[in-house]
Amino acid sequence: MSNFFAELKRRNVYKVAVAYAVASWLLIQIATQVFPFFEIPNWAVRLVVLVLIAGFPVALIFSWAFEITPEGIKRESEIELDKSIAHHTGRKIVALTIVLGLIAASLLVFQLVRPRTNTPAAANAASSPVQAAIPEKSIAVLPFENLSDDKSNAYFAEGIQDEILTKLASIADLKVISRTSTARYKSKPEDLKTVSQQLSVATVLEGTVQKAGDKVRVNVQLIDARADSHLWAKSYDRDVQDIFAVESEVSQEVADALQAKLSPNESNRLNTAPTNDAQAYDFFLKGEFEEREAESSFKPEVFDQAADWYRQAIARDPRFALAVARLVNSRMQRHWFFEQLSDSDLEQIEQTADQALTVAPQLAEAHIARGIVYYFGHRAYDQALNEFRRALELQPNSNQALQYIGYVHRRQGEWKQCLTELLKSREQDPRDAVSVANIARTYCHLRMWKEGEREGELSLSLNPHTVDAMYAVFENQLNGKGDLNGARRVLETFPADADLMTDTGHAMAEGLIGARAYVPVMEKKFAAALQLFDQGKSNIRETARLAARATIHVFAGDASQVTTEIEQGRSLLERQLSERPRDLEAAIQLSWIDLALNRKSEALTTAQKAVEILPPEKDALVGTYTLFNLAAIEAHTGQAQDAIKILRRLLAMPAGQVATIARLKVDPVWDPIRSQPEFQQLLTGTELVGPNK
């Protein structure tokens, strides 16, 4: 044995081993530092390591079996012992090892003392603020691919993805990107590094779902998006009724892989199924699918279909609190954006929201539903804020709750707070064009035109059909600059099918007529305005259509020619207000119809009633619209001083979407009082810019 070790020493096997180890360490360090600089994927570094490991025994075998001589490489058995120069080669190997060792030591010292920003990876991060801000415990759950033969099962795949995302969103130690942003990507994007940068996340979860009868297969994989390397993958073959366990297991595995700290309540939420009835859950997922379609297409009949699925789910399981909460949300969305519920129907929805909270007081969605009833149903903003805050406590990554908190603060006139929350919301939902558009319009209300235009353009880059973004860009031209030609040019850049016709929630002439038709009104091209309006929105309610046409005729000065049509609108609106006395839109519409009918006293009374329904003190956003509308009616009914008094008040408030000096100069709604000295004085004054709180 001693002869064997002596032979190892003579043949330089030990020296080759040491030299190989030092050289390998240097090569690995070089690969680790240089490859990222040239954006060579991490698998190449791993390949270098594997090759060097595999080469180690090869090098030892080579040094044992061969010797380098002046005549070249020869087998050891072919060299006579007294002619061997192994000892000379050994000294060269030692010298080389010393040199490599000094280089390695210098590199090690350099790595220990240098600033982190000197590394290629850190340099890349420093050049990209988005990349530098990426937290380690962050994740985006990408759309799950439907592999079922029946393509109509897409709702099922989307539902599983959504439930896993919702469970993860309840973990405070994680940053979880909202579904709105992840929905814009493919199930398996080709460039995950770009996804990581765009969403500011370290990891993504990809998945596929295959459903056949009562069986379902779910494949998921967690990937480090920054390096495009797999962290964890698993397959689940289960019965459909066990899908809740799959969702919980996936959520728990992801949380463990990201080393997220879970409180006892968070662990409990991960393992809680929304219902034990598989059929009820299937109905619910179909409802969710339709609800997403409704919020995208904005068609009331699709909201109705979603509500029908939710009701079927609840009929199967009356204690299915999540389905109850989502039903409330769907009905209130329809109430807010399309047609108000009667008082009795609203009361019933309120009871339904209370039912969800009674069954599941710790369910974030139940608190959101109750908050929406307070917000959309009663404009009870303090109560709504309490519910949304509680929802955010229960589900720290609930972007919906955070957005609503921002919207409530906007209604309360807490502008700085609103912007802080909406900008924070954008971090969780960076690809949501509507969210960005809301930030843009908030800036416009504050007369922060540069910021509003920037955010509006950003929103349109995410989705060119985002209506609120179009309004923000349009308002920057018209309200910010008073540039009518610029406003027209901007409108021409928007998609032809963009729904910019009416926005009655704005409670003023432009809101009734719509942006596209209001531009020719401002140019005194009334026939063109009527034609544009008639070619526009097809699903507009009859009262809104008649009120808009009446308003155009008011500007044209020929309302007497269409008295019969306008009278028809007045009858419909009077009946509507008798059924719903606090219907703000109906009151605004009726004020302009009364004006068209030369019922000046009634027009003033109705416009004043609209302000009483929603004054700025109660709603800092829409309250300015009702006040603006009253000033416009006063301007057309001989109450010039009262109108000017309101305008002076609006210019001193955050009300850039309704009143700016630039807009006053070009808007024909003020033509009846334009020659008044006090009005001309307004045009030379100043206005509030930026948030006042």
Tell me the pLDDT tens digit for each residue of 581-639: 888 989 999 999 999 999 999 999 999 999 999 999 999 999 999 999 999 999 999 99
**What is the model's pTM?**
0.77
CA distance 542 to 567: 13
Inter-helix orientation angle 433-445/467-475, to 10°: 30
Averaged pLDDT score across all residues of the chain: 85
CA distance 402 to 169: 12
Q: What pLDDT is stored for residue 297 in this prediction?
A: 77
Same fold for the domain at 132-273 and the one at 279-431?
A: no
Q: What pLDDT is stored for residue 11 in this prediction?
A: 58
Per-residue buried b or exposed e for 340-365, using 16+ beta carbons within 10 Å of the residue's own CB: bbeeeebeebbebbbbbbebbebbbb
Short-list 207, 192, 219, CA closest to 42:
192
**213 in the Ramachandran plot: left (φ > 0), alpha (ψ -120 to 50) or beta?**
left
Classified by CATH at the fold level, domain 132-273 comes out as Rossmann fold (3.40.50)
CA distance 100 to 20: 10
Return the bridge partners of 73, or none.
Answer: 68
**CB atoms inside a 10 Å sphere around CB 260:** 17
**169-204 pLDDT, tens digit each:** 999 999 999 988 988 887 788 788 888 899 999 999
The answer to whether the CB of 628 falls within 8 A of the CB of 658 is yes
- Report the CATH architecture of 279-431: Alpha Horseshoe (1.25)
Confidence of residue 415 (pLDDT cuts 50, 70, 90): very high
Q: What pLDDT is stored for residue 122 in this prediction?
A: 32
CA distance 196 to 177: 11
The letter for the amino acid at 300 is: P
CA distance 220 to 209: 9
The DSSP call for residue 138 is: E
Inter-helix orientation angle 399-411/433-445, to 10°: 20
**197-245 pLDDT, tens digit each:** 999 999 999 999 998 888 899 999 999 988 888 888 889 898 888 888 9
Query: Residue with structure tokens 């032809």?
Result: 496
Arithmetic mean of pLDDT, 538-560: 85
DSSP for 313-381, written as a single string? HHHH-TT-HHHHHHHHHHHHHHHHHT-PPPHHHHHHHHHHHHHHHHH-TT-HHHHHHHHHIIIIII--H
Joined tokens for residue 297: 């297409």
DSSP for 25-91, written as a single string? HHHHHHHHHHHHHTT--HHHHHHHHHHHHHHHHHHHHHHHHEEEETTEEEEGGGS-GGG--HHHHHH
Q: How far apart are the first and last CA of the chain?
A: 87
Cα of 51 vs its chain's centroid, Å? 45
The answer to whether the CB of 434 falls within 8 A of the CB of 207 is no
Spell out the domain ranges in the chain. Answer: 2-123, 132-273, 279-431, 501-682
**319-349 pLDDT, tens digit each:** 999 999 999 999 999 999 888 888 899 999 9
Joined tokens for residue 214: 């009562």
CATH hierarchy code of domain 501-682: 1.25.40
